[in-house]
Chains A and B, each alone.
Chain A
Amino acid sequence: MKLIEQLLSGTVTSIEVFFLTLIMALPLGFLVALGRMSKVKVVRVLVDTYIQIMRGTPLLLQLLFFYFAPYYIFNASLPRFASAILAFVLNYAAYFGEIYRSGLQALDNGQREAAKVLGFSKSYTFIHIVLPQVVKNVLPSVGNEVITLVKDTALASTIGVVELFRIAQTASSREFSTMPIFIAGVFYFIMNYLVSRVFDLLEKKMQY
């Protein structure tokens, strides 16, 4: 039973990584989308390069980079946990940004035109006409990413963050048994089952 307790405490850390990443990456993705659609070419190119790097290299490598690079450059490194959050946030914001952008561009221009001829201001149109429709349209893709994030938190173990997977691994080698890792798998499954239920509810709520 001691094992379960240990795994649960690791799960708490995993959940912390999960929520901290979401709280920052979800809004940051919005800035990424705006940057990617910016009329200023420099901004567009910079944001595009950032997205290419984040999507084009392994997240595992990015975690290592944010943990070790500051040491070589500034001779000081961030705490493991902070490095992990930084890598996750920057990586996920890139994906969220692309999802938001496709959602914004997929919205029929007729919606904005109808709002304009009725006399709505630009900000009113964005908040009350554009946003609710875009949120509904991107919800399934965002859900997919969020589910991936639950599993990706396990990667934080590679830079020594003591979360669920790390604890399961340690227990595994201590007890010469793969059982702890299987139990961790069940934990991840349960977390993702809850996440997908939440997204099902949100989708149902937004149906029209």
Chain B
Amino acid sequence: MAEIMVKAEHIEKSFGSTEVLKDISFTLEKGKVLSIIGPSGSGKSTLLRIITQLETADGGSLTIDGDPLFKSEGGKAVYTSPKEMHSIMLKTGLVFQSFNLFPHFSVMRNITEAQRAVLSRSKEEAEARAIDVLKDMNLLDKADSYPSQLSGGQKQRVSIARALVMDPKILFFDEPTSALDPELTRQVLSVIKALSERDMTMVVVTHEMNFARSISDWAIFMENGYIVEEGEPEVLFGNPKEERTKAFITSFKE
């Protein structure tokens, strides 16, 4: 039996009177890649933000790598202790659409700061790890540059590196290429693809349909806070069962 890395059951979330997530359940096994597609406002980002603890859920339960982050009790999501929440947070990494690199730090410091301050690694250890990852991404020559001196594609690769060096068990991508032009998008996608080939467990929210189809082991189509359809990427992207999924996928093929 494969190890389950994410188990989400009946997750609910509202902002004021707007229900953003209505009943979200899915599981993700170790080493697998899940892609989540759907129109804007369907709740994809909110779902990632709940799993990475940038938002709190209202209801449901969520288990990350065997540790429960919150459980459903009396219809409400009850979170575990702050200490446990922190240790679960360290198992997840998040790559943002807008990179969110620290502009006042060099590339090297962007990648080493959290290793040292959060994981208490030594300077040498942190830098060695950073150099390894930067080499992989072909960015070693940019180690002393500042984010403002980088292209969008380079910035996004640095932000992936920043998440990777923390050795997360699961890496989440929130529309990682939506702020990039097609050429820079390719650079970033090839990095994510390389990670999937190394069996990194990942969840990718994206509008890049062909890419999602080629790297994922499982795909989810979300709309209005619900999972409309999920399945093998070949089926979901090639021959979806639901009319709404079909319409959404075709709109990208023009």
Interface of A toward B, CB cutoff 8 Å: 108, 110-111, 113-120, 124, 128-129, 132-133, 136, 208
Contacts and interface: CB of A to CB of B under 8 A. Distances in A.
B104 A118 contact: no
Interface stretch (B26-34, B66-74, B85-93): B85-93
A115 B103 CA distance: 12
A129 B53 CA distance: 19
A208 B148 contact: yes
Interface stretch (B111-119, B134-142, B205-213): B111-119
Contact of B53 (A110, A117, A132, A136): A117
B52 interface: yes
B123 to A, nearest CB: 15
Nearest to A125: B117
24 contacts: A108-B98, A110-B96, A110-B98, A114-B101, A114-B159, A116-B53, A117-B52, A117-B53, A117-B89, A117-B93, A117-B163, A118-B114, A118-B118, A118-B163, A119-B86, A119-B89, A119-B114, A120-B114, A120-B117, A124-B117, A128-B113, A133-B103, A208-B103, A208-B146
Give chain B's interface secondary structure class: loop
A132 B104 contact: yes
Interface residues of B, number: 27
A114 B117 contact: no
Interface in B200-251: none
A208 B105 CA distance: 8
B166 A118 contact: yes
Contact of B54 (A111, A113, A124): A113
Nearest to A135: B104
Given A119-B114, A124-B117, A208-B148, A114 B102 contact: yes
A117 B54 contact: yes
Given A117-B94, A118-B166, A208-B146, A108 B114 contact: no
B44 interface: no
Contacts of B94: 117
Contacts of A132: 104
A129 B113 CA distance: 10
A121 B117 CA distance: 9
Given A119-B90, A120-B117, A208-B148, A114 B96 contact: yes
B92 A117 contact: yes
Contact of B162 (A111, A118, A124, A129): A118
B100 A111 contact: yes
Contacts of B148: 208
Nearest to B162: A118
Interface in B101-155: 101-104, 113-114, 117-119, 146, 148
A116 B96 CA distance: 13
